[in-house]
Amino acid sequence: MIVERVRTRKNATYFKNCALNDNELEDILPVLHEVLYLKRGLLQPGGKLPLFDLDGQAVDPRLVRHCLAQGWAEPWFNNPLKPDWLVCKLTEQGRRIALLP
């Protein structure tokens, strides 16, 4: 197996600087499904977050509430026809998270 030495060396130094125990970051950093939800707001006018997933199912309200609690999303308006729907849009913090690679 041929390994590029420069790339391997860079990866090794990267891991050297990481914390061994990052459990305290668990509540701060978004998980994959949260990031994917936030990324979908980048494509919508005004940063509107979707009410439905790509399969047409309603987005889990716990996911939306968690994004609201973390400050990644904010309520946009109340829907008088469907008051239980959480219509939200991205905040600047949510937009920065969604733009991360």
CATH number for position 63: 1.10.10
| Residue 70 within any structural domain of the chain | yes
The pairs formed by 88-91 with CB atoms below 8 angstroms and a separation of 24 or more are 88/48, 88/49, 88/64, 89/41, 89/46, 89/47, 89/48, 89/49, 90/38, 90/41, 90/42, 90/47, 90/49
| Residue 84 within any structural domain of the chain | yes
Structural domain containing residue 60:
21-99
| Residue 12 within any structural domain of the chain | no
| Residue 31 within any structural domain of the chain | yes
- In percent, the amount of the chain with pLDDT more than 90 equals 56
- Rounded to two decimals, the pTM is 0.69
| Residue 15 within any structural domain of the chain | no
Among 18-22, 38-42, 45-49, 50-54, name the one with the lowest average pLDDT.
18-22
| Residue 74 within any structural domain of the chain | yes
Tell me how many domains the chain contains.
Answer: 1
Tell me: the pLDDT tens digits for 7-16?
A: 544 454 444 4
